């Protein structure tokens, strides 16, 4: 993952905290929230998602937000390419997902309360 990509993601997270919604930031957050809801497990008052256990198509979706078009195209050539490229960014992606897990849990609990 390039330093430019890391900088862009940092900006997206800052914008989200400030209440500024950008199209790229919003689509990335929606993707991460959907992945947490679909594949996450409840644990100790929050959700947990191991990004290493995601199916290959979800890893490719994440890579489409974190990598350049050239590297993303390379990742889509084969499952091995996807896995190798994903592993290079997995620690950062895991941290990004972990940062959102509690937020998703809170949203889900508030939604459940509204149905009562």
Provide the whole-model pTM.
Answer: 0.77
- Find tokens 């209440």 and name the residue: 19
H/E element holding 102?
helix 79-114
Q: Is the pLDDT of residue 95 over 50?
A: yes
What is the tally of structural domains in the chain?
1
Q: CA separation (Å) from 80 to 50, 74, 86, 89, 104?
A: 19, 10, 10, 15, 31
The one-character DSSP state at 115 is: T
Express each pLDDT in 5-64 by its tens digit. 555 666 556 555 555 445 557 788 889 999 999 999 998 889 999 999 999 999 999 998
Specify the pLDDT at position 2. Answer: 52
Domain that holds residue 18: 3-114
- CA-based angle 5:36:93, to the nearest 5? 25
For the chain, the C-alpha Rg in angstroms (whole number) is 15
């Amino acid at each position: 993952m390039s330093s430019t990509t890391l900088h862009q993601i940092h900006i997206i997270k800052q914008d989200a905290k400030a209440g500024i919604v950008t199209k790229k930031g919003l689509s990335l957050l929606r993707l991460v929230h959907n992945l947490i809801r679909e594949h996450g497990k409840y644990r100790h008052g929050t959700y947990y998602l191991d990004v290493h256990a995601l199916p290959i198509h979800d890893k490719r979706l994440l890579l489409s937000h974190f990598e350049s078009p050239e590297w993303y195209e390379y990742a889509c050539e084969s499952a091995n390419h996807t896995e190798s490229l994903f592993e290079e960014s997995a620690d950062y992606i895991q941290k990004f997902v972990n940062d959102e897990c509690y937020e998703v849990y809170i949203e889900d609990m508030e939604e459940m309360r509204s149905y009562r």
